[in-house]
Amino acid sequence: MNVRLLTNRRLLALVLVLAALAIGGLPVLAADDGGHAEEGGHGAAVANVVLSLAVILAGAKLGGDLAVRIQQPAVLGELVFGVLLGNLGLLGIDVAEAMKQNEVLSIIAEIGVIILLFEVGLESTVRDMMRVGLPSLLVALLGIVTPFALGFGVGMWLLPNHSIYVSIFLGATLTATSVGITARVLQDLGKSRSKEARVILGAAVIDDILGLVILAVVVGMITAANQGTDLSGGSIALIFGKAILFLAGAIGIGLLVSPRLFYVASKLRVRGVLLSFALGICFLFAAIAGKIGLAPIVGAYAAGLILEDVHFRGFVGREEHELEELIQPISAFLVPVFFVLMGMRVELSAFARSEVLGLAALLTLAAIIGKQACSLGAIGDRLDRLSIGIGMIPRGEVGLIFANIGLTLTLAGERIVDEAIFSAVVIMVIITTMATPPALKWSLARGDRGAAGREGGASAAPEGSERV
């Protein structure tokens, strides 16, 4: 009891310290609206950045802890903290604009999302993609086509005055799947090795690849339209082929070169070689993807896919940590900055507009129906299609990444995704992310009860025949 009381007191003290960091920095940020930074020179600019990081990181951890305590993913808490921080102007505390327009924070956030996609790639291997099987492939294909068509239809219906590229981008945003949330629920329930889990996780790997390819095609279409040229079917095929060739080439060359590269690297007698070379490959692939017109996250994901544990055997005897463990502290620093800044770009005042809430509601409905439809591809013996469909629903961080890229794209001087559309997408992401864990728990429990009932009926049948 005393140990538990001591632990609770330490936890309370930690929460108070984080809260003091998050709240105490706000008046300073509010007092310095950006003009003082110019007067103070480089030192004042650095001070503003590090103070902003202190507020963002402390608030992100507080929000993440609260989210985990109510059995939600930490990313939701980070996002909600960003929403609250970004809308303090409604209370007369004007800190959001200076932080949202700070280029250094934006660059840190972009590096964070590159690290995030690198981590996602590390969780899978090329062999995993080759073993997913026909059910996972069909689920993934339906999980791309159906949500895209529904999202495009919602955009054309509710946004008739906007460019058709806005509807195309909304469709692309709905194709994303955040498998991390589903994987955590499956792990907590002890179902990560079930047939349904293998189908979901395999389909999600394919969804990641196809979703990034679609994103590359959509960005290429918008870029061409912005330059005053029409994108023909051949041009679309060229962009699609370029994305596929980049992924295939990066993976093929990487699988051949990376084992030899890390073998040589393991001979170096300095610390941090594994992490440095892995990040070097990540950033190199991201840069190449950006140079050829693809999103840098495509390259980061490909870099994660090619790096397998077998490549790091030379580091085992040197008491090096595994690569995932080395990346995690960097991710814990950079990734929350991205999600908090995404939340800050949500304008709560936009929710007073009925068209924003209507768009958010229909996007959410399209997101759920689209992923439920993909479960029809789960062909096989006694697969729980309802659970598979629910497991594919959450958009999570992937949907936010897509929406953030939309904020950076312009057509004729106007952004493809404005604040209202972005806010609607964030609502969709929050709802689909929060609804998935309890829905998946209920669905898997229902499946277990049905399986137990079938086994009970089968075992009772012989006894009944003997009594007759």
Choose between 410 and 142: higher pLDDT: 142
Tell me the three state secondary structure of residue 238: helix
Choose between 28 and 276: higher pLDDT: 276
Same domain, 63 and 116: no
Choose between 413 and 181: higher pLDDT: 413
Same domain, 279 and 418: yes
Same domain, 201 and 280: yes
Tell me the three state secondary structure of residue 410: strand
List pLDDT tens digits, range 362-404. Answer: 999 999 999 888 888 887 667 788 888 888 888 766 777 788 8
Q: Please check whether residue 457 lies inside any domain of the structure.
A: no
Amino acid sitting at position 8: N
Predicted TM-score of the model (pTM): 0.71
Taking alpha carbons only, the member of 443, 396, 355, 350 closest to residue 174 is 396
In the predicted structure, residue 450 carries a pLDDT above the cut 70? no
| Contacts (Cβ under 8 Å, ≥6 apart) of 368 | 393, 432, 435
Same domain, 385 and 287: yes
Same domain, 315 and 220: yes
Rounded mean pLDDT, 144-148? 92
- Do 342 and 70 touch, CB atoms closer than 8 A? no
Same domain, 199 and 342: yes
List pLDDT tens digits, range 5-47. Answer: 445 555 555 555 555 555 555 555 555 554 454 555 667 788 8
Same domain, 96 and 122: no
Tell me the three state secondary structure of residue 411: strand
List pLDDT tens digits, range 426-441. Answer: 888 888 877 887 888 8
List pLDDT tens digits, range 344-354. Answer: 888 787 777 88
Taking alpha carbons only, the member of 277, 282, 286, 274 closest to residue 319 is 274
In the predicted structure, residue 413 carries a pLDDT above the cut 80? no
For the chain, how many structural domains are there in total? Answer: 2
Q: What is the pLDDT of residue 41?
A: 60
Same domain, 289 and 328: yes
3-class SS shares of the chain: helix, strand, coil, % to 5? 80, 0, 15
- Which helix (H) or strand (E) segment holds residue 93: the answer is none
Structural domain of residue 79, as residue ranges?
1-101
